[in-house]
Amino acid sequence: MERVGFIGLGNMGRPMASNIRRKQFATTVFDLSPTPVEALVALGAEAAPDVATLTRASDVVVTMLPGPREVSATILGPVLEHAKPGSLVMDMSTVDPETTDALAAACAAKGVGFVDAPVGRLAAHAERGESLFMVGGSEADVARARPLLEAMGSTIHHCGGPGAGTRTKLVNNYLAILLCQMNAEALSLATAFGLDLPKTLEVLHGTTATNGQLAVNWPNKVLKGDTKPGFAIDLAHKDLSLILQAAHAARVPLPMAAAGREAFSAARARGMGGQDFSAMLDAHCAVAGVPPPRL
């Protein structure tokens, strides 16, 4: 069984690394925050003092980091400086295609395998080992990564060669994030009309207006008053920026994404960036001057 190094123990990374360790993989972890590191050590993982030490001890290095800057600095820096020939790097962060392509090329030049495997679903799914992965990489590299992916999740989609996972994730998040804004506007309007929320939802879920955010995520988050971040408004804004950047490079206009990002910018300006992205409902209700509806 290969030794795994896991870098980045945030809301998603900590439960994912925990599930790897629970499947008895020898695991070394690193994070700037000591609290999640201590939680992994309690499960039997080893704590590394730095990324270089972790990389030297690992056959597979997994990164789950906030964005392109952190991912590039980590992988193009100490990871590839200390990676053993024939090892594998798997980046699970949400970044732009340009960053993923640069990582794949740099790994290939070093004789290191590379897989991009960004994550679908939410932190609650990661806790239960039910994440969905959109994977890019060669058949051999993806086969090597599969036991780890199976330890962390329930659904694995091999989307194509290196970079295909990242590109699929941006398409997925484009819809998932903008649906939050559309739902926020729709339910604000329903509240202003004085409509009964359960009956309104019953109607929406029975027509083509229904969507996964409204049917699955929102009843467990903002509609019951829980805006603790599973996926924060700040991260959603970051992803919309990546999506628009990638679309611009591909010469694909995305006017709804541009408008949606400004709505998320407005929520951040209200100090709501750390709340769950379903809290866009509360942000829009404040703009509309109506009370946020709750079930």
- The catalytic residue among 23, 84, 110, 169 is 169
Note if 221 is an active site residue.
no
| Residue found under tokens 């994977």 | 135
Active site residues per annotation = 169
